[in-house]
Structure 1
Amino acid sequence: MPLNRNKLYSILLIACAAGYIWICYSLTSDVTENKSLNVCFIKHLTNIPCPSCGSTRSIISLTKGNFVEAFDLNPIGYIVALIMLAAPIWIILDLISKNQSLFKFYQKIENHLKNPKYAIPLILLVIINWIWNIVKGV
């Protein structure tokens, strides 16, 4: 079933809201410093970090201006932070202007990612990041 504009915008807004809530909770409770708390389902089941393990700590480092530390924790944190900042603003602007620019952008990206020329390098980057997370023991 193809994703329509309203469903995409709803998913993005819910994901961003959940992300903001988790980041605020993490900032106020120092949960990211508590290594005994394991919120990653993959790491909880396998004891192996997933490719995105460390993203929350990476975003928190970004909010504190620690850009190198954020990259060391997980470069995916930069992508997640960018999406969390841009998506809600872009959605609101689309809704106000009755436009579909974010949805059209999403469709273009989705079409590009179906092309192995783009998909394979991105998959390799995720695998490299995953190996890096395992080696550094996130």
Structure 2
Amino acid sequence: MSKNKLYLFIIAACLTGFSYLFYSIHYSKSTSLSLCMVKNVTGYPCPSCGTTRAIQLLLKNNWMASLQMNPFGILVALLMVVLPLWIVSDTITKKETFFNNYQKAEAIIRTKKLAFFLIILVIFNWIWNIKKGL
């Protein structure tokens, strides 16, 4: 993926995430609509179910409840803040630090042992979400 496509994708994903977070905080209390296609089709939560609620708990400074809701929430919240700032910084300084680090991280994650470990973590989180009844 080219640098520009990656930067646009990350910015669009973060803006979408911020928009959904804003919507969920202000408007979704009156509806039981779930955007999770896995849960809507199967009735079971996906590995990322509860991430929005976990971020909302973080915004209320309730770290432990956020971690219990879905550990991915803390990671996603951190990425939603750091990545756009890093991309803006690269754009202003005309550097490619984010892109270069992304390529290095992607190469590391693609190693079989680490990829297997990360997949196992996602599966455990999925099982945990199902047992919690998200």
The alignment's TM-score, normalised by the length of structure 1, stands at 0.93
Q: Which residue of 1 aligns with 2:32?
A: 36
Shift in Å at residue 34 of structure 1? 5.8
Counterpart check, 1:72 vs 2:56: no
Name the structure 1 match of 2:15. 17
Q: Does 1:82 align with 2:78?
A: yes
Give TM-score, length-normalised by structure 2.
Answer: 0.96
**For residue 4 of structure 1, what is the amino acid of its counterpart?**
S
Segments of structure 2 that go 5 or more residues without pairing to the other structure are: none
Equivalent in the alignment of 2:51: 55
Aligned match of 1:26 = 24
- State, as a whole percentage, how many aligned pairs show the same letter: 44
Moved over 4 A (4+): none
2:98 paired with 1:102 = yes
SS of 2:58's equivalent in the other structure is: helix
Query: How far, CA to CA, are the matches of 2:11 and 2:49 in structure 1?
Result: 22
Matches of 2:38 and 2:95 in 1, distance apart? 38
Gaps of 5+ in 1: none
How many equivalent pairs are there?
A: 134
